[in-house]
Each structure stands twice: as structure tokens, then as C-alpha cells.
Structure 1
Amino acid sequence: MDVGLWIAGGLLALVALAGGISKTFVPKEKLAAHRGGEWTRNAAAGFVRTLGVLELLAAAGLILPALTGIAPVLVPITAACWVGLMVGAMITHLRYDGGWKFAIGNLVWLAVAVFVLWGRLGPQPFTT
């Protein structure tokens, strides 16, 4: 179980890192030109960049507290925040033609985050 939770947390961290890097460092116009990025046309550049920074923080929050042993309770808290982010992402993607495909992907990552949240608060918490 612990290995599965580490793998799930690591995958979520990689997804958060990739999304965070793109939203933080790629111009919004370039994001808007790609399938799935249409929503950025209607969003302020600062909002897109802020989401990117939050995703970078999520990547760190899913891994670093557990690795360092400093405030490991932040791992399930970060997973809970990721659930909220994925709900917002699903709502946003469903507003666009063909966005249901991206919303399904968001739903998958939401389920992985729920698994991490449940596992780290329940059967396999990190000991402090």
C-alpha cells in the first residue's frame, strides 16, 4: 500500500510539475493555441501564471514533506487541494467543445489524489 501511495503521489507531482511549468513559463497566447488550452484565451495572464505557481507548489507539497519528514501532514492536505483544482479544471474544460476528453483526464487525476488523501490520512499515514 505504501509503495502504491508513493507512486500515486509521484505521478501527481509529475503532472503538477508539468502543468505548473507550462502555465508559469509559457506565454498564455501559446497555451491558448493548443488543444485543451482554449480556456486561457478568456483568462488573465496573471491568473494563468498563478495557477502555474500553485501547481508547482503542489508538486513540492506532494513529495518534499514526506521525504524530509518535515510536516508530512502536508501531503494529504496537498492532495485535498489537488482535488479542488481538478474539480475546477473539469468545470472549465467542459465549457469548451470537446473539453469532455480533458475533463475525463482531470477526473482520473482527481481519483488518484483521493487515493493519496485517503491512504495518507487512513491506512498508511506518515509517522512524525
Structure 2
Amino acid sequence: MNHSANIDHHAVLRARVALLGSGKPSVRERVAAYRVLAQVSPLAYLPLLSAALWKYSRYEFAHQPEIALALRAESVAAARRMCALEPGRSDLLLTALANHRELLILLDRQEELRAVEEEITRAAADER
């Protein structure tokens, strides 16, 4: 089966229009667009998605830590996918993990924090 058969071409077009429109899209709109576009152009959009998810969690959900934590976990997942496609991009993963770690510390989620810190150690060692 053709890979393009699984893609909603209308959603891709809407996402591109949202990003290229006359006004600057909100972080929420950028996240939505990058989620769609990362499916068709992961090398181009996964780094943008990872960064936008962090901004979205920080600025839109600062008072809703569980939602912010889920968004930061999604940011880490996007960075992991990017590293799988392009192993030299551990900087993106390290940044996403550090941002995730920051919120885990604030929420006192010790078990998850240990796992993230171990992954940071591994990713830093891989970067060298």
C-alpha cells in the first residue's frame, strides 16, 4: 500500500495554510499544524513540534500541570522520533528531556524523574 494513502491531504493543506497565513499563528495553532505535518515531513517538522509543545505547555498550561506534563512527554516523544531518524540530533532530545525533568521536579514525581535522568545520561553519552 502507498504511504500517501494513509495521509489526510486536506489536513496537510490546512496545516500549511495555517502556518503560511498572513498572521502569526498562535502556539496552539502551530502545535496542531506541526502534528499533522510531522507525519509527512518528519525531518522538517519534528524539531518544530518538540519546541512548540514545550512552549504550549509552559505558556498555556502553567496552571494545569498534568496537561503540561503530557505535552512535555509528547515533546520528548517527538525528539526521540527525530533522533531515531537522525541520530546526530541528541541536542533536541536533551533539551526536551531537560524541560520534562523541570516539571517532574516541580511535581515531585520521583520515579519518573529517575527514568528521565537516566535517559539524559544515556543521551549525553551518545552525543560525545
Bin of the TM-score, shorter chain as denominator length: 0.3 to 0.5
TM-score (norm 2): 0.41
TM-score (norm 1): 0.41
